[in-house]
Amino acid sequence: MQATTVDTAQLESFNPATGEPLGAVPVTVPEHVQGMVDGVASVQPSWAGLGLAQRGAVLERAAQVVLDECDEIRDLIVREQGKPRNEAFSMEILPTVDALRWIAKSGAQILAEEKVPMPQVFLKTKRSALVYEPLGVIAVISPWNYPWSIPLGEVGLALMAGNGVVLKPASLTPLIGERIVSVLERAGVPAGLIQVVHGPGTGAALAESSVANVFFTGSVETGRSVAEACARRLKGSVLELGGKDPMIVLDDAHLEHAIAGAVWGGFANAGQTCSGIERVYVMRSVAERFIAGVVAGARRLRVGDPMSWDTEIGPMVSAEQLEIVRSLVDDAVAAGAELHCGGQVEAPLGLDGAFYAPAVLTGVTHDMRIMREEIFGPAVPIIVVDSEEDAVALANDSEFGLGASVWTADRARGERIAGRLESGMVWINDHMFSHGACQCAWGGVKDSGLGRTHSKFGLYECVNVKLRAWEGSTVRDAWWHPYDETLGRALRATAQLLYGRSSERAAALREGAVPLTRLGARLARDAFRR
């Protein structure tokens, strides 16, 4: 059931499985967003002043708080978003516990002051370092499909780098956004360092506010508007805009492993995953067995109440999302595709949500909408190919480029194909697991977005990388004024001696001896006068 405004001041959240109301949060007036950003900015300097070790200690405590409250948080995710209990833990809770610990420990090393070697002879008197300074206030605009792990990981990166945060949760999952702030404040994050905004227009207001960077996860259309607003204000944005991930199954793949991977990668979270498997290209020699295995696996998945421990497919987050999936599948079938299993089903007894059983299709072609548009639901279309070349060409024939997977027993072959795929991530004999490993970069190419979250690159998105250089001022730089022929000849000789062919260095030394000596004497006189 879609979250709605109860009145002009409240946004109410509903359980997508039962339709029952779960609670409400105040709607933020877009005109008030800048004031909230200013409030966070007033608290942020004291947080930045704590230093890396102290900020990391707070994030480690936050990881423990998540563990302490994991059952409550898990069930809140289940009730508000609809994924089954086991997925709420394995795909949301556990990854954030690990991420907060990794950010705290590795972040202290990654963001520590870094000496820059100065090997050039003419720069030997100088000392340089890279320092990583917080940007100030960072906005995190998060989606409903992973309403805990996506925003909490990005908030953790921003906090470790010394920033404050304004979080805009999806309107379908506002209570989870509020719980994130509660967890972090319980761990010791200062009150006011993280603010939450809710409701229509607040995402756009954040992009147009004085925040220094925006982490946005969502649709291409909205992401483009966020990027444009940020570009007009000469600030950064990190965009994760969804995907159309291909799975390539080669003739030497461990077939049972590939079948299990296709079922999980295609149907986990009811297919509502930006990097879920949305297209499969399988070699003809193994296609019959592979398709039969995927169909059998899809039929075994249990659709039902996500609060039940044995449920594997919960409800779609909304009736609108189910309609998108149904439309794409029906369009493919009308155009000649074969639906082997799945489709819309009535809500199980006692429930009132939008349920769609896992669907497997064959006979699809690349001009069908289901092969070009993001499904974001439990439907996996499969195309049989005759060669590796065909598989790679079809996999790259998409506006999206988030993730991709190759399934083969030959590691070298898999890595060679991985190098040809147009995507931000490629997994060999697995799919999308690395979102749960914060040390791994996450992000895409083409319409899947810009920038990276997670990893050292996600931390770098949260800082100003500043070069700090020191000169002892004993000797002035050789290339300073006055300019004359002696300086010109000395510079040329220096370049030849340092970078020229070894066979020409002796001649360069002979030709440059006099101007180099004169320049050296000039610099020595200047140093002596000081």
pLDDT digits (tens, 9 = 90+) for 31-48: 999 999 999 999 999 999
Residues in the chain: 530
CA–chain centroid gap for 152, Å, is: 12
Q: How far apart are the first and last CA of the chain?
A: 78
What tokens appear for 84 in the block?
């089954």
**What confidence tier does 3 reach under pLDDT thresholds 50, 70, 90?**
low
pLDDT in tens, 93-144: 999 999 999 999 999 999 999 999 999 988 999 999 999 999 999 999 999 9
Please state the φ and ψ torsions of residue 392, each to the nearest 5 degrees. Answer: -65, -45
Does residue 462 have an active-site annotation? no
Tell me how far apart the alpha carbons of residues 187 and 159 are, in angstroms, rounded to a whole number.
13
Task: Identify whether the C-beta of residue 362 lies closer than 8 Å to the C-beta of residue 344.
Answer: no
pLDDT in tens, 463-497: 999 999 999 888 889 999 999 999 999 999 999 99
What tokens appear for 322 in the block?
């189910």
CATH 3.40.309.10 in the chain is located at 245-437
Candidates 230, 274, 438, 462; catalytic one: 274
Asked: is 245-437 a CATH 3.30.450.40 domain? The reply is no
Q: Does the structure show a pLDDT above 50 at 341?
A: yes
Nearest to 299 by CA among 253, 335, 258, 345: 345
Nearest to 291 by CA among 281, 302, 301: 281
31-241+457-466: CATH, from 3.40.605.10, 3.40.309.10, 3.40.50.280, 3.60.21.10: 3.40.605.10
* Average pLDDT along the chain: 96
Task: Identify whether the C-beta of residue 166 lies closer than 8 Å to the C-beta of residue 211.
Answer: yes
Classify residue 362 by its DSSP letter. E
Kind and range of the H or E run holding 280:
strand 277-283
Cis status, amide bond into 134, omega within 30 of 0: no
Cβ count within 10 A of residue 36:
20
Please state the φ and ψ torsions of residue 243, each to the nearest 5 degrees. Answer: -160, 180
Please state the φ and ψ torsions of residue 230, each to the nearest 5 degrees. Answer: -70, -40
Nearest to 150 by CA among 496, 443, 461, 522: 443
Interacting residues of 29 by C-beta distance below 8 A, sequence separation 6+: none
Tell me how far apart the alpha carbons of residues 447 and 241 are, in angstroms, rounded to a whole number.
7
Task: Identify whether the C-beta of residue 399 lies closer than 8 Å to the C-beta of residue 224.
Answer: no
pTM for the complete prediction? 0.95
pLDDT in tens, 147-161: 999 999 999 999 999
pLDDT in tens, 355-408: 999 999 999 999 999 999 999 999 999 999 999 999 999 999 999 999 999 999
Interacting residues of 110 by C-beta distance below 8 A, sequence separation 6+: 456, 459
Cβ count within 10 A of residue 33:
25
Q: Does the structure show a pLDDT above 80 at 2?
A: no
Q: Does the structure show a pLDDT above 60 at 4?
A: no
pLDDT in tens, 176-235: 999 999 999 999 999 999 999 999 999 999 999 999 999 999 999 999 999 999 999 999
Nearest to 261 by CA among 405, 435, 390: 405
Q: Does the structure show a pLDDT above 50 at 5?
A: no
Candidates 240, 312, 388, 422; catalytic one: 240
Does residue 240 have an active-site annotation? yes
Tell me how far apart the alpha carbons of residues 332 and 339 are, in angstroms, rounded to a whole number.
9
CATH 3.40.605.10 in the chain is located at 31-241+457-466
Please state the φ and ψ torsions of residue 84, each to the nearest 5 degrees. Answer: -60, 160
